[in-house]
Every structure is written in C-alpha cells, then in structure tokens.
Structure 1
C-alpha cells in the first residue's frame, strides 16, 4: 500500500526523504538604530564646531542686528537699555548724503579689484605652468604681498604714493611728468587704494588658479596641438572652460574679502579726502567709532548691508553651482 505524505501545515517546513522538517525561524530584523555610544561620539565631534559657530558667527550677527534695530548711545550701550526703533537706523543710512557716494565707491572698488586681481592672477598662473627655470622661486616671491601684514603693505603704499617724497612721483618726475597727489586729491584717492588692494590680492588668485591648472590633463593640450590649435585657442577652448569651477570660488572669496576691506583704505586715506574713497566698510567704522558721538545703530546698519550683499552673492554662487551639476 502506497503511503501518502501530506505537506506540512507550517509554511516554513519542508520535506526531506518523506519526513517533514521544520525550517529554523527567521532571524530577527537587525536593529538599525545606532548605539547610544556612537550618538554621543557624533555629538562630541560636532560640539566644538557648533560652539565655535555660535560664539564667533551667530552671536556677533545677532548683536549687530540688535544694534541696528535700537537707538544705542554710549550710556545705553553700557547699561543695555536702548529703546527699540525698528528700521529707523536704516532710514537714517539711506537718507544720509554719504550713502550714494559710499555705495558707488564700494561697487567700483570691489569690481575693479576683482577684475584686475583675477586677470593678472590668471595670466601669472598660466605663465608659471611652463615650468621654466627658477619658476618656483618667482612664485614664492609673488606670495610676499599676501604674506605681509596689511598694516605693513598699506604703510608701504602710503610712502610710495606720497606727494612730496614718494618713489612713484619721483619716477614720474624722471619721465618728465608732473607730480600727482595720489592720497590727497579727491580725483586720485580711490584709484590709489584700488592699486594697493590689487597688488595685495593678486597672489591669492595666482595660488588658487595655479592649483586649478595643475588638475587639467596635459593630454588635452597635446591633442589640441596635434589638431592645429594655437596657444590662444587652447586657452579659450580648454583652459578657461575647465577652470570655471575654480574661477567661480576664487571670485566669490575675492568678492567677500574685497567688500570688507577696511585696513588698506583707512591707513592710506581714512576714506578721504572729502569722502572720495569712503566705502561701506570705512563708513561703518566712522559712524560707530570715528566720531565723538558715535552712532552705533547706523554703523551696524551699514555693516548689515555688507553682510546681505555677501549673502546674496553666496546664494547666487550656490545656485549656479547646482545648475552646473544638474547639467
């Protein structure tokens, strides 16, 4: 008589040699939650950065915003009982006759400095990619303006551009050109501080752009040369497009730095004469600390305008980078 074997009722059982054998129970799902020790370790690593950002970024920004929204005097600044005025300090800044010239000077100073710093830095970076003899020594010498303290650089340029004893006017005299009042003429004061700031900022552009050039494969240039491309075509079709991400971050950092330049202008011209070289950075200092009766609120408002400008350009940079990544 043939024996009939019925399938087992348990779904996990299977039949082997006519006998039902129960399969082992499924392993419990692994708990994907991190152990408490790992969570505490992660917070321990984040704590120093969080504390640093809170103390040196968030709190100063909050205090500056609070200053711009209250009527602070020397007494109220110490006692901390300044009345809330809303946007009155911003209205005072916009209605001030210094606002329009300071805005124009800030735009000119930032735009011209960025243009020449980037152009000269890129030209030098391309020049040093030739790896000629003593190229490393010359690159190191070009870093000197960047490594010097700003007070030394600004004082040196003040001496060089002095109307009476400056070396620049001495050179112009040797060429038969009359002296120029670089620092004391309203027509030349802004040009003087722009020249000094360009000289200081070129090494930064040189270093960053030279590093970006090193990441471009040499095989691309060799293939373009075999196809008959000249030096300008190789630069415009290979170097410049592949250097675009590095150029973007270089210009952004240069923009943020140039917007807040204060040391050079203050040491060389103090924003004068007749506010001819006043920018938002020097104007903010003059309002808050340069008078016997300081205007802390309007000074903080001008500083916040610089913060907003830097933030806007930073957001534009992030948007452009995101669009390039998606394309």
Structure 2
C-alpha cells in the first residue's frame, strides 16, 4: 500500500511594483541597568518639580480664572470668569503705582547690589591678610533670617528711637520719618534690600574672578596698563557670563521680595511702597473679604515677568555661544 504525502505549496505574496517586503517586527529591548539608574535618579527630581512647581502654578492659574470666595474656596464650586480678574487688576487704581514701585525697587536694588558686590569682589581678590575673614563677615546679612534683618532695619530707621536719626542728630540734621513718610518709605526698603543682597553678588562675582588667569593681568601690566584699564579690558569682559547669571538671579529674587517690605512698611503709608508682591498678598489675605482671584492674577504677572527675563537671558547666552 503506497502512501502519498501531500505537500502544500503556498503562493508567494505578490508585492506592488517597487515595494520592498516588510521586515518582521523587532523584539523590544529590555532597559539596561544604566537606563534604570537614570530613571531612578530622574524620578525624585520630576516628582519634586511636579508637586512643588507645576501643581502650585496650575492651581494659581486656575485661581486667577475663577471667582473664588471663602465658601467656594473650601467647597470648590467657584464659577469660571475667564480673564475678568486680570481686567479688574489692570483697571485698579493701585496697579500703576504698584507697577512703578516694582520697577524702581527692582532696578535700583539690582544696580547697587551688583556695583557694590563687584567692587567688594575685586577688593577681596587682592588676597591680602584677613581677606577670608572679612569676606566671611560680609556674608552675615545673607545668612540672617529675613525677619531678623527687616526687624533690625525697622528699629534702626525708627523716627523716634532709631540709631540712624540719632546719628543724623549728632551732625546737626533733623529727624527723618523713614518708614512713615510717603517720600521715604520706598527708599527705606530699597536700602535694606540692597544690604541683604550685596553678599550674594560678592560671593558669585568673587568666584568668577577666581577663574580669570593671572597671566592676563601680568601681561597687561608689562604692557603698561593701569588698574582701571586692566579692569575695563580684562576683568569686566571675562566676567560677563557670571555677571549675566548674577543679574538674572537677582532680578528674579528682587521681583518677589515680600518679607522686607511687609515687615518694615506693610506697603504703606498710602501705598507709597506697595509692589506687586505686597499687593498680591493684600488682595488675597490682607482684607476681611479676600479677593483670591485678583491676588492670584497679580502673582501670575510676576511669574510672567520673571519668565520673560529668563527667556531673554537664554536667548542672549545662545547667541554668545554661537558667536
């Protein structure tokens, strides 16, 4: 008895003209130990940014787009109002003075903090005796809690018992109402904030000076360049990257200064020292009937301002890198 074996012949798959046969799908690669380690290091940072930056920013934006009251803030049923809070803020009589005070406060503080910090950094770069000790003492204003620094300046600038008016009286100058006169309140908080911010500029700029080769100064001295010419032609140009990041960080910090102003003047008298930071707090928490939405809107304006300056800094750095 013969057994015949049937062999099945599959017809070849016809492909369109010019089409190549598709390759079988590749098996997924399993993550390597280095990839797992990278994710392990990245996860805490991502969670931190999401929990403490992204989510609060989202809540603040949502707060500025709704009509929140104390009841709706607890129950969460605030109606959506769109950009109404921003329109109310822009048409508020306090907006223009607060904007002017914020610009003046930020600009004057940045200029004097950077100028004094740079001068001290160049001075301490001489590496004389007790240089490290004196430089450490200059860090005290930066290390003190802000409430201590602001309270100290409030006592020093007190109209009746302040040490500043006592010194002025000793040289024949009458007392100045530093904290209670509309013409002096903003200047008082500016002076206090400059004193607090100078050490930060000193530390960062001094570290930048350490990276400049000493051979450049020696060559310039052999060519007959004086101290001012060495600073203008060597120190200042080579310090530009460090100066840029110092000014950017100082700008972001100064825009959101609240503690110093609130402790010393509370934005007064008659809103003469009110900035966006103190105004946002007053709207949200400084009244019996808090306006959470407008307060959040003012805070978001500060965030946008800091973001714009940050993007400008990145763009400038990118152009310098390409050139």
Q: Normalising to structure 1: TM-score of the pair? A: 0.89
Match for residue 293 of structure 2 among 297, 308, 315: 297
Match of 1:159 in 2: 155
| TM superposition shift of 1:36 | 4.6
Per-residue deviation, 1:133: 1.1
Q: Which residue of 2 aligns with 1:73?
A: 69
Q: How does 1:55-204 map to 2 (within 5 A)?
A: 55-204=51-200
Deviates more, 1:199-208 or 1:45-54: 45-54
Instruction: Please identify runs of 4+ aligned residues in structure 1 that moved more than 6 A.
Output: none
CA distance in 2, matches of 1:42, 1:126: 41
**Take 1:33 and 1:101, find their aligned partners in 2: how far apart are those partners?**
61
| Separation of aligned partners in 2, 1:143 and 1:218 | 26
Shift of 1:44: 1.9
Distance 1:217 1:86, change over 3 A: same
The Cα offsets for residues 92-134 of structure 1, whole Å up to 9 and x where unpaired, read as 0000000000000000000000000000000000000111111
- Rounded to whole Å, the distance in 2 between the matches of 1:247 and 1:41 is 36
Post-superposition shift, 1:35? 3.4
Q: Deviations over 1:143-167 (max 9, x none)?
A: 0000000000000000000000000
Is residue 225 of structure 1 aligned with residue 221 of structure 2? Answer: yes
- Per-residue deviation at 1:38? 3.9
The Cα of 1:34 is off from its aligned counterpart by: 6.5
Give the equivalent residue in structure 2 for 1:6. Answer: none
Deviations 1:291-312 (A, max 9, x none): 0000000000000000000000
| Cα RMSD after superposing both structures | 1.2
Pairing partner for 2:316 from 296, 316, 320: 320
Out of 225, 230, 235, the residue aligned to residue 231 of structure 2 is 235
TM-score (norm. length: structure 2): 0.90
Listed one character per residue, the Cα deviations across residues 234-286 of structure 1 (whole Å, up to 9, x for unaligned) are: 00000000000000000000000000000000000000000000000000000
Structure 2 counterparts to residues 237-256 of structure 1, below 5 A: 237-256=233-252
Gaps of 5+ in 1: 1-30
Deviation (angstroms), 1:43: 1.9
Tell me the distance in 1 between the aligned counterparts of 2:114 and 2:200. Answer: 9
**CA distance, structure 2, for counterparts of residue 241 and residue 42 of structure 1:** 38
Partners of 2:192 and 2:139 in 1: CA distance: 15
Equivalent pairs, count: 297
Uncovered stretches (5+) of structure 2, i.e. residues with no partner? 1-26
Q: Which residue of 2 aligns with 1:266?
A: 262
